Amino acid sequence: MNAVDTYAEAWNGIRNGFESGRLAHAYVIVGSPRGNALQFSESFLKLLFCRNAEKPCNECTACRQVETHRHVDTLWIEPQSKSRQILADDVRGLIHRMTQTSFEGGWKAGVILCAECMNVSSENALLKTLEEPPPKTILLLVTDSPQGLLPTIISRCQKIVLSEQHAGALNAEWYEPVMNILRDLPPRNGLAAAKSASQLKVIFDVVKEGIAESVIEELDLSDEALDESKLKDILEARTNARLKEVQADVFRVMLNWHRDVLLLASGLSDAELIFPDESEPLQRQASRQTQGSALQSIQTLESMAVRLDRNIPALQIFDEAFRKLVRP
């Protein structure tokens, strides 16, 4: 089934907007950048460019060019395979293209896949365009981790949520308790570091319980092919996989927090912050750091993020991270 049929309500909103000439200039599409959100974006673009009356026809040249990502008036960008970042130069190229006239005299579109991989300078480059979008342009930010985007970017885009599971991260139950831990950083000593780690463990335990409950709801318990031990295995595997995603999200928030500390320690204004609402604790932490020490914290965390991708228990990594952040 195509994403357009699965997410009929969201799709009808886009179609009505298109037909009445009231599309927004920018959309955040929350879902899988390789799955449902990609498909949805392609359908969106076909709607803009299709040459037949029944749009999208999925058959005309324009529709097929959209599908192969070769349409002349659409530019796709995604993270560089090595750094896994979307570079500011790529974003600037996309913005530049969107300010030029279209080849076919109609719409111009830009799609940023895995938009959460934009670094701070990429996001700032994009912000200016979001404030003054060129006419007849559409920008699609496709992401499964909207919490990795600047709140100021999200607020300037219309949101289309295809996966509640991913969208939830923004207002997830863990967000506020994790922020509480971050506001208290850096730990005064090893004991304080251990305390932060154990607070985090409690948070993950609660999250895990919630995930397990929703996985049980999804499982088809009446399926006779599944005996009890198989069900148990599936439950455990799915729960752990999702818990891992949450842990990666928490780590990303922690990393972004330290990027903000670095920004402030480098004397930049708090208008650039990823967490503008947290300016006070961030300022306090930054005042105790030099640019060098703040940078070092980020490098430490980044090197640990790599290990999170391997099969090392997350709690062990967080525990080590907190200990490394202890004030010298």
- Cα separation, 14 vs 22, whole angstroms: 9
Shortest CB 46 distance to Zn ion, Å: 6
Q: Which residue has the tokens 């330290």?
A: 258
DSSP letters spanning 208-249: HHHHHHHHHHHS-TT-TT--HHHHHHHHHHHHHHHHHHHHHH
Kindly tell me which of 43 and 143 has the beta carbon lying closer to Zn ion: 43
**Of the candidates 165, 174, 169, which has an alpha carbon nearest to the alpha carbon of residue 154?**
169
Shortest CB 71 distance to Zn ion, Å: 11
Shortest CB 195 distance to Zn ion, Å: 60
Kindly tell me which of 50 and 301 has the beta carbon lying closer to Zn ion: 50
60 binds Zn ion per the rule CB under 5 A? yes
Q: Residues 50, 138, 161, 273: which binds Zn ion (CB under 5 A)?
A: 50
- Sequence-distant (≥ 6) Cβ neighbours of residue 165 within 8 angstroms: 242
63 binds Zn ion per the rule CB under 5 A? yes
Binding residues with Zn ion: total (CB under 5 A)? 5
**Of the candidates 300, 297, 317, which has an alpha carbon nearest to the alpha carbon of residue 248?**
317
**Of the candidates 108, 126, 130, which has an alpha carbon nearest to the alpha carbon of residue 117?**
126
- Cα separation, 328 vs 326, whole angstroms: 6
Shortest CB 312 distance to Zn ion, Å: 48
64 binds Zn ion per the rule CB under 5 A? no
137 within 8 A of 24, measured Cβ to Cβ: no
Kindly tell me which of 45 and 115 has the beta carbon lying closer to Zn ion: 45
DSSP letters spanning 56-94: --S-SHHHHHHHTT--TTEEEE---TTT--B-HHHHHHH
Which of 60-68, 69-77, 167-175, 274-282 is the region at the interface with Zn ion (rule: CB under 5 A)? 60-68
Shortest CB 39 distance to Zn ion, Å: 16
Which of 20-28, 61-69, 139-147, 261-269 is the region at the interface with Zn ion (rule: CB under 5 A)? 61-69
Kindly tell me which of 60 and 248 has the beta carbon lying closer to Zn ion: 60
Q: Which amino acid is at 253?
A: V
Kindly tell me which of 65 and 291 has the beta carbon lying closer to Zn ion: 65
Shortest CB 29 distance to Zn ion, Å: 21
Which of 63-71, 128-136, 224-232, 273-281 is the region at the interface with Zn ion (rule: CB under 5 A)? 63-71
304 within 8 A of 197, measured Cβ to Cβ: no
**Of the candidates 196, 186, 177, 169, which has an alpha carbon nearest to the alpha carbon of residue 318?**
196
Which parts of 178-197 interact with Zn ion (CB under 5 A)? none
Shortest CB 61 distance to Zn ion, Å: 8
Shortest CB 34 distance to Zn ion, Å: 23
146 within 8 A of 166, measured Cβ to Cβ: yes
Which parts of 242-261 interact with Zn ion (CB under 5 A)? none
- Sequence-distant (≥ 6) Cβ neighbours of residue 73 within 8 angstroms: 49, 102, 103, 104, 106, 107, 108, 109
Kindly tell me which of 59 and 89 has the beta carbon lying closer to Zn ion: 59
Which of 46-54, 81-89, 129-137, 263-271 is the region at the interface with Zn ion (rule: CB under 5 A)? 46-54
Which chain residues interact with Zn ion by CB under 5 A?
A: 50, 52, 57, 60, 63
